[in-house]
Amino acid sequence: MTKADEGQHRAILQRIAHRVMLERGLAPDFPPPALAELDAVQGAATRADAATRDLRDLLWCSIDNDDSRDLDQLTVAEALPGGAVKALVAVADVDALVKKGSALDDHARQNTTSVYTAAEIFSMLPERLSTDLTSLNDDADRLAVVVEMVIAADGSLQGSDVYRATVRNRAKLAYNSVARWLEGAGPMPPAIGAVAGLEDNLRLQDRVAQALKGLRHTHGALDLETIEARPVFEGDELKDLEVDQSNRAKDLIADFMIAANGVAARYLAARNAPSLRRVVRTPKRWERIVELAAEHGSKLPAEPDSKALAQFLTAARAADPDHFPDLSLSIIKLLGPGEYVVQRPGGAAPGHFGLAVKDYAHSTAPNRRFPDLITQRLLKAALAAAPSPYADAELEDLAKHCTEAEDAAKKVERQVEKSAAAMLLESRIGEQFDALVTGASEKGTWVRILRPPVEGRLSSGLAGVDVGQRLRVQLVHTDVERGFIDFKRVS
C-alpha cells in the first residue's frame, strides 16, 4: 500500500470483507424482500398470552461488550433458604418478529451467524431488529424465553424450568467496568448504583457463577485462555491489534449461559422433542496432547480423559501463566472444531468434551446465531405442546449447514484479521519473531507471533514441526488483499 492508503484502512478492509463473505458463500447484504419485511415491522413484539409471566419488576441487567448493542440475554438471581439460589436467564424472543420461512429468516438461515470482522460487522439480522426491536434494551419491555435454575451452594442444579415472560432491562452494563468492580480493581459502575438492590444481586450472581464453574471443572471442564485480538483505529487508520482479555464479568455470563444451554437441551429431551446440540467430540489427536503434556513435565493417560487434561491445564497455568495462552491455543487446535448434531427423542449425542457436559444446545443468542433461533422455536413449540416446527430431515440439513456456515464465518473473520495484520506488518519485512506452531497438516503449517497477535504460514523450514512447538521465524512476505502473511524458520 502507498502512504495515501493509510487513511483508507477501514474502507480497504471493508471491501476485502465483502469480497471474502461472497467467496465463502455468505451474504454481506440483506436482500430486497428481507428489507421490505423489515419496513413492515411496526414495533417490538408485545402481545403476550395468558401463560406469559410478567417479570418486569425483577432486577434484570445485561452485561456485554462495551460496544455491544444487540443484547440477547438478561440475568438475575434470588437467594433461597438453605443456601440455594434461583438464577434466571431471559433470552430475547426473536421468533416473535422473525417468523420461520420469512425472507428475514431465509437470510439468517443462509449466514447462520453474525460475522465480526476487523472493519465491519455483518449482522445476521438487520440492526433495526437485533439492536432495537428484538434486543433486550435498557428500560424497554420485551418478550423473552426464560430459563430458570435452582442452584445449590456447591453449583449443582437442583431444579429447572423454561417459560415465556415479559421482562425489562434495568441496567445495561459492560464487561470491563463490571469486572474491575467485582475484582476490587475499580469503582462500581454508576448504572449499578442507580438501581436499588442491583449491587447485591450482581454479587450473588457472581458467587453462583463461580460455584457453577467450580463444579464443571471438577467434572473435567477445560479452563482455556486464548489471545483474541480486536482492531484499534484512529479515525479510519488502523493503528494496532489489541488483545482482548478474559475477565470476571465475562466468566459470570459464560457460566450462566452454559448452565442455561444445558437446561434447554434437557427440557426438550424431557418432552420427547428433537434438539440441535452443540458438540465437541473426543479429540482425534489425543496422542499429540499427551506429547505436549510430557513436554511440560506432566503425564496424561493414553485414552482421552477430560478430567486429567483439566488438571494438567490448571497446573500449567499456575507454573507459567505468561505462556498459558500459547498452550491453550495448541490444545484447542488439537481438540478439533465444534459442530451441530441433531438429538432425537431417546437418542444420544456425543456431548461437549471441552465443557465436560453431556447435554448442550445453543439457545442464548438468537439475535446473533441461527442455531439459537432454531432452539428457541423448538422450545416454544414444546411449551405449547405443539409439534416441532422442523421435520427431522430439515433439522439434519440445518445441523450440517450451520456447522459449515459457522466455519465459513470464522474463516472470513480470520482472513480479514490477517489482512489487518498484513497492513501493520508490511513495513516490517525481514524482521524476526518468536512464534508458536498452531497448525501442521497437509494443507500447510501455521505459526502465531505475539505482536501483533496473528497467524501466518510457515513457508520453509517445515521438517519435524508440529503443533505446540516454539520457533524463531522471519517475516518474508505480506499480501493485504489476500490476507497472506508468510514466515520462514530461522535457527
pLDDT, position 175: 96
Using only C-alpha atoms, the chain has a radius of gyration, in whole angstroms, of: 23
Query: CA 257 to CA 482: how far, in whole Å?
Result: 36
Host domain of residue 217: 3-281+338-420
Instruction: Please tell me whether residues 188 and 47 are part of one structural domain.
Output: yes
Domain boundary among 386, 420, 454: 420
Q: Is residue 203 in a domain?
A: yes
% the chain with pLDDT above 70:
98
> Do 36 and 126 fall within a single domain?
yes
**Distance separating alpha carbons of residues 301 and 252, to the nearest angstrom:** 32
Residue at which a domain ends, from 395, 420, 445: 420
**pLDDT at residue 4 is higher than 50:** no
The total of structural domains in the chain comes to: 2
* pLDDT tier at 181, thresholds 50, 70, 90: very high
Q: Cell numbers of 179, please?
A: 469486572
Same structural domain, 58 and 157: yes
For residue range 8-42, what is the model confidence (pLDDT) as tens digits? 899 999 999 999 999 999 999 999 999 999 999 99
DSSP classification of residue 118: S
**Could you tell me whether strands 432-441 and 172-174 are parallel, antiparallel, or unpaired per DSSP bridges?**
unpaired
What is the mean predicted confidence (pLDDT) over 184-213?
97
Residues forming beta bridges with residue 485, ordered by sequence position: 478
- What per-residue confidence (pLDDT) applies to 5? 63
Whole-structure pTM value: 0.89
Q: Same domain, yes or no, for 352 and 466?
A: no
Res 153 pLDDT > 50? yes
Backbone φ, ψ for residue 251 (5° rounding): -65, -40
Q: What is the model's pLDDT at position 377? A: 98
pLDDT tens digit sequence for 395-451: 999 999 999 999 999 999 989 999 999 999 999 999 999 998 888 877 889 898 877
**361 and 270 part of one domain:** yes
Q: Confirm if 64 and 247 have CB atoms less than 8 A apart.
A: no
Q: Which CATH number is 470's domain given? A: 2.40.50.140
Per the model's pLDDT, the better-predicted residue between 467 and 178 turns out to be 178
Q: 8 with 141, same domain? A: yes
Whether residues 462 and 405 fall in one domain: no
Residue 411 sits in the same domain as residue 438: no
- 456/352 same-domain check: no
In a shared domain, residues 490 and 342: no
- Lowest-confidence region among 280-289, 324-333, 402-411: 324-333
Mean pLDDT for all residues in the chain: 91
Q: Answer for the pair 143, 46: CB distance below 8 angstroms, yes or no.
A: yes
- Alpha carbons 393 and 401: distance in angstroms, whole number: 12
Q: Answer whether residue 471 shows pLDDT above 80.
A: yes
Quick one: average pLDDT of 272-293? 90
Final residue belonging to a domain, choices 420, 438, 467: 420
Query: Collapsing DSSP states into helix, strand and coil, what is residue 405?
Result: helix
Of 166-180, 206-220, 408-422, least confident by mean pLDDT is: 206-220
Q: What is the pLDDT of residues 85-137, one digit of tens each?
A: 999 999 999 999 999 999 999 999 999 999 999 889 999 999 999 999 999 99
pLDDT at 6: 60
Residue 387 lies in a domain: yes
Instruction: Evaluate whether residue 318 is within a structural domain.
Output: no
